[in-house]
Structure 1
Amino acid sequence: MSGWDQQLIKTSRGTFEVFCNGEGTPLCVTHYYSEFNHSGDYFADSFTHNHKVYLVNLRDAGNSVKASLPYQLSMLETVFDLEAIREALELSKWNYAGHSIGGVLGVIYGIFFSGNLTAQVIVGAAARDYATFSPNCIYHPEHPQFHYMQKLIKCLKRDELGEIEKIKLTKERTKLSLRQPERYHQLFAKKIHKKISATRLNFFNRELQTFDVTKKLCLSTVPKLFICGKYDVQCPLEYSVEMHEASPNSELVIFNHSNHYPFLEEAAKYKLEVDRFLQAVDL
């Protein structure tokens, strides 16, 4: 058992399902469209050895409150929801850590609520649409694996898809984001399973087309650690460099042997860098 305990947090903006694990300084982890459960999350697991981690199911995910209007699924409204959860937990501040789209959400959080955050760890993310302009992104038509990725996505959307086939296709999709795909079973060995909120994913795919907060990064004063794999095909390294250069009070660590999952692909180095950073700001 991973030790993730469910809590239903009543806030001014509705009730949210949160899974808790670990002891120490409070730290929030979430993802824009993932649905978490008692099995936890690989990224969130990397913080439980020295933090009390709150793994949040956002609006329309898991057993959290449903959206009554579409705009409630936006990134800005989602940050307001996170703030309501922090207030309901009676925490004056907490850390925030986000990977991939969870990191994108963290960028928004840092811009609007730096004063309520102790520190942020942003892994493999971006502050603007990361696919349209970068052929290094696997969702760009010029990327060499673009067509294979699109084929996998199309297959995963089939209504008649069986569970076994779904698992197989999901593995193949994940392997495209590993520097050494042959290590898949070694890296993803835990019995962690999660779903996707279709309504949140669909809303995000629309919002991404106009997403660009690069000019507001200067407003985010919270200490930030940007981490990115050198070979990240989801949110390419260039976007982490861009965020670091535009963000005050930030540092960037590049993982030279990783793709999109440095916390798994180079776990020992990742732990050292994150612990060093968070121990300094948590003092």
Structure 2
Amino acid sequence: MWKQQLIYTERGTFELFTKGHGEPLCVTHLYSQFNETGDYFADSFTSLHKVILINLKEAGNSVTACKEEELSMEETAEDLEAIREALNISSWHFAGHSTGGMLGLMYAINYPQSLQSLVVVGAAASDYTKTKDCIYHPHHPQFAYMQQLIEDLKLPHLTKKERRTLSIKRTKLSLYHPEQYETYFSKPIHKTMAASRMNYFSKEFRSFDLRKQLASVTTKTLIICGKHDVQCPIASSLQIHQGSRNSSFIPFEHSNHYPFLEEK
């Protein structure tokens, strides 16, 4: 189990969970709600780092936003910096999967002095839904099904069993071998979605574009992507790599959106 902690910062109180030993490494996601059971992606780093898994504003027991704009990526990067300062950490590592990776890029652009290294997995530096091989593009064959699952997961009165069934269906769409779901997700890890954050992101990402700012990222960066990623297609990761000055890129040949599980 992960150790829960409430951190008081100048930007509000945040809930975080820690596990592991070593140099501090921050992990978060734009709209996931974490708890003591942890996170599969964050678990990847606990053997080498003290991992700090953060619930952002309006996720878990973290502070509620006073205005909707506080849920933006830029404001969230400021929250991360306030948390780092409150923890008295001079600099840390950051690892982000999917929207967590997008946030990592924003953080590296705005606070390069706070980062020792950055890991970006299955992410993008601009609107990734404009290509037809993305499951969020209207012409993708699974688009309507994915959208329905997302909307169903936002329903407030779902039973645990109903929520789990929907989550499994949604996740299987992003696996190269969906029949291996039970093998990949075998740990007792349970997390949910912060609907208000998800809703804000669904508006914000239309104007999300960090491509011109990538050249300013001096942080040592590792970019990873599954070759068959349907959420953030591999072209998005290549774009980050080509735009960054200090990055390396590793494609995972037999993975979709979860290379840290599919090719562990």
TM-score after normalising by structure 1: 0.91
User: Would the alpha carbon gap of residues 135 and 33 (structure 1) be closer, same or farther in structure 2, given more than 3 Å must change?
Assistant: same
Give the superposition deviation at 1:22.
Answer: 0.2
Does 2:214 correspond to 1:217? yes
Distance 2:157 2:100 in 1: 30
The residue that corresponds to 1:123 in the other structure is: 121
Partner of 1:277: none
CA distance in 2, matches of 1:166, 1:55: 22
Following superposition, the deviation at residue 144 of structure 1 comes to 2.1
> Relative to structure 1, is the Cα distance of residues 162 and 10 closer, same or farther in structure 2, using a 3 angstrom cutoff?
closer
- The CA deviation at 1:155 is 3.7
| Long gaps (5+) in structure 2 | none
The aligned residue for residue 149 of structure 2 is: 152
How big is each residue's C-alpha offset from its partner over 1:172-226, in whole Å with a ceiling of 9 and x where there is no partner?
Answer: 1100000000000000011111111111111111111111111110111100000
Matches within 5 A, 1:7-86: 7-86=5-84
User: What is the alpha-carbon distance in structure 1 between the residues aligned to residue 132 and residue 213 of structure 2?
Assistant: 25
Q: Deviations over 1:70-109 (max 9, x none)?
A: 1111100100000001011111100000000101111101
Aligned counterparts of 2:192 and 2:144: Cα–Cα separation in 1: 24
- Residue 96 of structure 2: aligned partner: 98
For the residues of structure 2 that align with 1:90 and 1:136, how far apart are their CA atoms? 43
- Go from structure 1 to structure 2 and tell me whether the alpha carbon gap of 1:222 and 1:148 turns closer, same or farther (over 3 Å shift): same
Once superposed, what is the RMSD of the aligned Cα atoms? 1.2
Give distance in 2, aligned partners of 1:116 and 1:152: 37
Within 5 Å, give how 1:167-186 maps onto structure 2. Answer: 167-186=164-183
What is the number of equivalent residue pairs in this alignment? Answer: 264
Q: Does 1:249 align with 2:251?
A: no
Give per-residue Cα distances to partners, 1:1-24, cap 9 Å, x unaligned. x3x101111111111111000000
Moved over 4 A (4+): 157-161
User: Within 2, Cα distance between the matches of 1:261 and 1:158?
Assistant: 25
Residues 165-174 or 215-224, more deviating: 165-174
Query: Counterpart of 2:175 in structure 1: which amino acid?
Result: L
TM superposition shift of 1:166 = 2.4
Contact 2:154 2:195 in 1 (8 A): no
User: Structure 2-normalised TM-score?
Assistant: 0.97
Q: Rate the CA distance shift 1:165–1:245 in 2: closer, same or farther, 3 A.
A: same
Following the alignment from structure 1 to structure 2, what is the Cα–Cα distance between the partners of residues 151 and 54?
32
Letter in structure 1 aligned against 2:176 = R
Matched, 1:194 2:191: yes
Gaps of 5+ in 1: 268-283
State yes or no: 1:163 paired with 2:166: no
**1:163 CA displacement:** 3.1
Letter aligned with residue 232 of structure 1: D
